[in-house]
Structure 1
Amino acid sequence: MPGGASLLNSGGGLTVPVVVTCLMAASGGLIFGYDIGISGGVSEMEAFLKKFFPGLLKRTARGASKDVYCIYNNQALTAFTSSLYAFGMVGTLLASRVTRRLGRQAVMLIGGSLFLAGALVNAAAANLAMLIVGRMLLGLGLGFSGQATPVYLAEVSPPRWRGGFISAFPLFISIGYLVANLINYGTSRIPDWGWRLSLGLAAVPAAVMVAGAAFIPDTPSSLVLRGKHDVARAVLQRVRGKGVDIGAEFADILAAAESDRRNEEGAFRRILRREYRPYLVMAVAFPVFLNLTGVAVTAFFSPILFRTVGFESDAALMGAIILGLMNIGGILASGFAMDRYGRKLLFIIGGALMFTCQAYKSSCLHMLHSLLLILIIT
């Protein structure tokens, strides 16, 4: 992948081709964000529960007075939600090998197509098995697109603007999440088939990604790794703009590809050496601890979370919409600040905000739980 301090002032400016190419690639985040937002909202729609989880609906109808936190404790519903992430992990592992052979663009095309198929299967689901098969296809699609899209953005974007362009992927995730919650807010008023519309509209961001992946070129780095040097140079010249000297950047790509080939054998054993251990620890710790904070789970189940603490259905969906708006605001702010102030400062600020908000949320839920116990006892 191109990079290095020597190239910070090279690589051209913000040309129309590079902006269009990166935005079309980043649109892959729409499918991830849409699914995060749509699944939690659909899971509390009465028509959806009646169709696939009638036992759960009966418990919901009896009210939350006996067990406010375990109304949604249902193995079939767990299979519905977790099947996507299980197959997303499988898709990511498969995509890492397929990407090296076919390139980033082809993997994004495959991922979008799988997600499109999954959305159509879910919209037409007649039983729980069909619903879960659709979720499996969605998971594979997310695994493929999620593995290739950030790498594509990093390899195509100019070095000076790389941080901002990479942040476009989580920005599109947040936009997809917000749009999904707005759709849920509207379709919840449609009896019997509103949930089908919510799930089926996932085909729209999937189609956007398929169309985008079909028209954008593969990255120069990926083309060089597959021996297509002339095509790689032409693609790099096109995205950087006519008249821009791409010699230094293309030489860096060639050197990185050669280094990659030389060090490919024994790479996994080598990364365990002492000199690479700090990088390995941080590379694993950041995503692991980010997920252990529960932020992804909170976003996914936000309508259900709001519902179980006493919000009405519409208020719960509106709470998820507000959460999506705040997420977009944070990503826009970090995108502008990333290349100016560095990643470390953003990690510190983000971690402090998450700690504060999680502590406040836990104290609020604890007080609510205590109040409910008092009301039940009295």
Structure 2
Amino acid sequence: MRPESLPPLVIAVAMQVFQQFTGINAIMFYAPVLFQTMGLGKDSSLLSAVVTGGVNVVSTVVSIILVDKVGRRKLLLEACVRMLVAQTAVGGIMLVHLRLVVGPLGWLIPSETFPLETRTAGFSFAVSSNMLFTFLIAQAFLSMMCSMRAFIFFFFAVWIVAMATFVLALLPETKGVPIDEMVDRVWRRHWFWKRYVANADEARVNDNC
């Protein structure tokens, strides 16, 4: 709970919240239901769910290959654009025709932003946040789909915009930065988070005096 631990803690928890509220797990959990809603038969719905899972695996492999070459921020922002287009398109199609209703980086970033002395505790916050919001979305999705219908995909789209804004403003690039240099090379230089590290440094100086 020290001030210098706030930047990676906020980022770790926020990434888990965004991972769930951008709709990825809701769609993965309820893919057969969604495809049946769109008029596909039971067998086709299950096959479509398998295809969706396959795309998820391939996308994860691509992310693993590109993450150290392209960087975390660029991949996240590119994913935000694709997810925004996809969610808006699905919502629009279902609104017009039916009248019904990015991710491995969410785990990678928290694992490398905490300094070594708080990494275990910090990552436990990230995992707990992920499980909590996975549970909330899984429990609420069907009710939300029944009440919001097609607009649930626009709901997810709004969260994608919020995620992109967060990444642009508050998520520093950590590509190629060793964990033991994270404070000096990332947090002390970031336009917003550096104030928390500076306050911690000042407090230590006062304690020593």
Report if aligned partners of 1:27, 1:172 keep a CA contact under 8 Å in 2. yes
In structure 2, the residue matched to 1:242 is 198
Alignment of 1:210-225 (within 5 A): 210-215=164-169, 216-219=171-174, 222-224=175-177
In structure 2, the residue matched to 1:303 is none
1:205 positional shift: 3.1
Instruction: Give the TM-score, by structure 1 length.
Output: 0.41
1:123 positional shift: 1.2
Report if aligned partners of 1:99, 1:107 keep a CA contact under 8 Å in 2. yes
Corresponding letter in the other structure for 1:153: P
In structure 1, the residue matched to 2:139 is 181
Report if aligned partners of 2:20, 2:133 keep a CA contact under 8 Å in 1. yes
In structure 1, the residue matched to 2:129 is 171
Alignment of 1:27-66 (within 5 A): 27-31=17-21, 34-38=23-27, 40=29, 43-44=32-33, 49=36, 51-53=38-40, 56=41
- Distance in 2 (alpha carbons) for counterparts of 1:97 and 1:81: 25
Select which of 71, 89, 107 maps to 1:103: 71
1:36 positional shift: 2.8
- Distance in 2 (alpha carbons) for counterparts of 1:179 and 1:207: 18
In structure 1, the residue matched to 2:105 is 148
Quick one: structure 1 residues 84 and 13, their matched pair in 2 at CA, closer, same or farther if it must change by over 3 Å?
Answer: same
Matched positions, count: 186
SS of equivalent to 1:125: helix
SS of equivalent to 2:150: helix
Quick one: structure 1 residues 101 and 196, their matched pair in 2 at CA, closer, same or farther if it must change by over 3 Å?
Answer: same
SS of equivalent to 2:93: coil
In structure 2, the residue matched to 1:115 is 83
- Distance in 2 (alpha carbons) for counterparts of 1:197 and 1:120: 9
Corresponding letter in the other structure for 1:241: V
SS of equivalent to 1:52: coil
- Distance in 1 (alpha carbons) for counterparts of 2:25 and 2:67: 25
Cα offsets for 1:30-76 (capped at 9, x unmatched): 247x433356557548xx746422xx4xxxxxxxxxxxxxxxxx332
1:104 positional shift: 1.8
Report if aligned partners of 2:73, 2:172 keep a CA contact under 8 Å in 1. yes
Corresponding letter in the other structure for 2:12: C
- Distance in 2 (alpha carbons) for counterparts of 1:108 and 1:75: 34
1:100 positional shift: 1.0
Corresponding letter in the other structure for 2:142: N
SS of equivalent to 1:201: helix
Report if aligned partners of 1:26, 1:149 keep a CA contact under 8 Å in 2. yes
Cα offsets for 1:253-279 (capped at 9, x unmatched): xxxxxxxxxxxxxxxxxxxxxxxxxxx
Alignment of 1:274-289 (within 5 A): none
- Distance in 2 (alpha carbons) for counterparts of 1:169 and 1:28: 13
- Distance in 2 (alpha carbons) for counterparts of 1:25 and 1:210: 11
Select which of 83, 106, 111 maps to 2:51: 83
In structure 2, the residue matched to 1:23 is 13
1:210 positional shift: 1.6
Report if aligned partners of 2:31, 2:49 keep a CA contact under 8 Å in 1. no
Larger-Rg structure: 1
- Distance in 1 (alpha carbons) for counterparts of 2:156 and 2:83: 8
1:158 positional shift: 2.8
- Distance in 2 (alpha carbons) for counterparts of 1:232 and 1:159: 11
Report if aligned partners of 1:105, 1:218 keep a CA contact under 8 Å in 2. yes
Corresponding letter in the other structure for 1:18: P
1:86 positional shift: 1.1
Q: RMSD of the TM alignment (CA)?
A: 3.6
Cα offsets for 1:232-286 (capped at 9, x unmatched): 84424255712767xxxxxxxxxxxxxxxxxxxxxxxxxxxxxxxxxxxxxxxxx
Quick one: structure 1 residues 49 and 154, their matched pair in 2 at CA, closer, same or farther if it must change by over 3 Å?
Answer: closer
Corresponding letter in the other structure for 1:112: C
In structure 2, the residue matched to 1:208 is 162
Unaligned runs of 5+ in 2: 95-101, 202-209
Quick one: structure 1 residues 209 and 182, their matched pair in 2 at CA, closer, same or farther if it must change by over 3 Å?
Answer: same
Corresponding letter in the other structure for 2:130: F
Report if aligned partners of 1:30, 1:172 keep a CA contact under 8 Å in 2. yes
